[in-house]
């Protein structure tokens, strides 16, 4: 029998379509193996084809915009928001408008065109996480920005237009809707229970066990009880922590380990699918860090959203999270 399940943070209901339940082999396959590309603008030696480097992990004394880097952040050549200008708001009758001021950056995650995150060494993966955090810290200093979001599109079905391993970071002049909803839900829960809803979720996951995918000293990876997508997996710090930008060196190393571990499991179980992940952290200067809990949401791109989901916000999910977790855990 189909099940309706409600997410405890934002109150979103989802339908688990148990009558047409799908396992890992029931989804169409993507081919996401990178192939050598003679004119890739993200490869070393073509640094002049991107805007000037904003940040990088590179040897001391090596110069910006030259080869030698391990991770490299550049402004997006085709930004959706513009870095220049001040923030102006205007009312147009009942409508509101703001100038599209923001930052849009690309984090190139490896010099090697043929490597995806799953093939990086532990140290290389840690450099990626360190670079993410460095950008969060830097962009949070700009008074125009209220929120910084990191996201990765891997594979063309997930929206990647360049194959060379990269993530994107956008700094926004307002807190986006999805995060606002999480914060509101977490604040309401905190008011009632005097506890963090995400911390309670972690406790519940340990009690139920069946949705756990992996863990290490600092992080739990699990398939959420009320997912929006098949094989959706979250990575969350076990200890309460609102802000990714404050994660210390050893926490970053543990994140590098668990993120790579989960991506390897997804690759193995689902045959190198396209995926997206994004990092939800507290807004810049968030006043009440006891209410929010940062985390990463990973969405393998296995099905297409259709009219019903857009029209209702009600997702139909063909795989129970405990089944997805079992496949990912046992691989």
Return the active site residues.
166
Distance between CA 180 and CA 183 in Å, rounded? 5
Question: H or E stretch including 178?
Answer: helix 177-193
Measured from the CB atom, the residue of 149 and 259 that comes closer to a second copy is 149
CB of 124 to a second copy, least distance (A): 22
- Asked if residues 153 and 160 have their Cβ atoms less than 8 Å apart, the reply is yes
CB of 231 to a second copy, least distance (A): 14
Question: H or E stretch including 199?
Answer: helix 197-208
End-to-end CA gap in the chain: 27
Cite the DSSP H helix spans in 249-306. 249-270
Residue with tokens 């046992």: 330
Residue with tokens 């690309």: 106
Give the length of the chain: 331
CB of 240 to a second copy, least distance (A): 16
CB of 59 to a second copy, least distance (A): 31
Measured from the CB atom, the residue of 202 and 253 that comes closer to a second copy is 202
Measured from the CB atom, the residue of 41 and 151 that comes closer to a second copy is 151
Query: How buried is 20 (Cβ within 10 angstroms: 0-12 exposed, 13-18 middle, 19+ buried)?
Result: exposed
CB of 325 to a second copy, least distance (A): 14
Measured from the CB atom, the residue of 11 and 45 that comes closer to a second copy is 11
| Rounded to 5°, angle at Cα 282 from 278 and 286 | 160
- Strand 147-154 and strand 315-317: pairing? unpaired
Q: Which two tokens stand for residue 275?
A: 């995926």
């Amino acid at each position: 029998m189909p099940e309706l399940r409600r997410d405890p943070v934002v109150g979103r209901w989802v339908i688990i379509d148990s009558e047409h339940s799908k396992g890992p082999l029931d989804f169409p396959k993507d081919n996401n193996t990178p192939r050598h590309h003679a004119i890739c603008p993200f490869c070393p030696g073509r640094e002049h084809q991107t805007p000037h480097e904003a940040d990088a992990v590179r040897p001391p004394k090596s110069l910006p915009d030259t080869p030698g880097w391990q991770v490299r952040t550049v402004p997006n050549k085709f930004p959706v928001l513009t870095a220049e200008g001040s923030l102006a708001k205007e009312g147009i009758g009942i409508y509101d408008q703001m100038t599209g001021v923001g930052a849009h950056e690309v984090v190139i995650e490896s010099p090697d065109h043929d490597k995806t995150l799953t093939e990086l060494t532990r140290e290389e993966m840690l450099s990626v996480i360190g670079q993410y955090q460095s950008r969060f810290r830097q962009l949070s200093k700009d008074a125009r920005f209220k929120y910084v979001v990191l996201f990765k599109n891997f594979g063309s079905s997930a929206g990647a237009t360049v194959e060379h391993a990269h993530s994107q970071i956008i700094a926004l002049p307002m807190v986006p809707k999805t995060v606002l909803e999480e914060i509101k839900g977490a604040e309401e829960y905190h008011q009632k229970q005097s506890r963090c809803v995400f911390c309670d979720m972690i406790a519940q996951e340990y009690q139920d066990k069946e949705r756990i995918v992996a863990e290490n000293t600092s992080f739990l990876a699990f398939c959420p009880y009320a997912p929006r997508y098949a094989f959706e997996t979250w990575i969350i710090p076990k200890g309460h922590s609102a802000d990714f930008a404050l994660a210390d060196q050893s926490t970053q190393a543990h994140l590098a380990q668990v993120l790579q571990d989960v991506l390897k499991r997804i690759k193995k179980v689902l045959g190198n699918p396209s995926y997206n992940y994004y990092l939800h952290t507290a807004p810049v200067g968030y006043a009440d860090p006891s209410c929010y809990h940062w985390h990463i949401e990973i969405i393998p791109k296995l099905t297409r959203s259709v009219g019903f989901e857009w029209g209702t916000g009600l997702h139909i999910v063909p795989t129970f999270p405990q089944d997805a977790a079992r496949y990912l855990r046992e691989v």
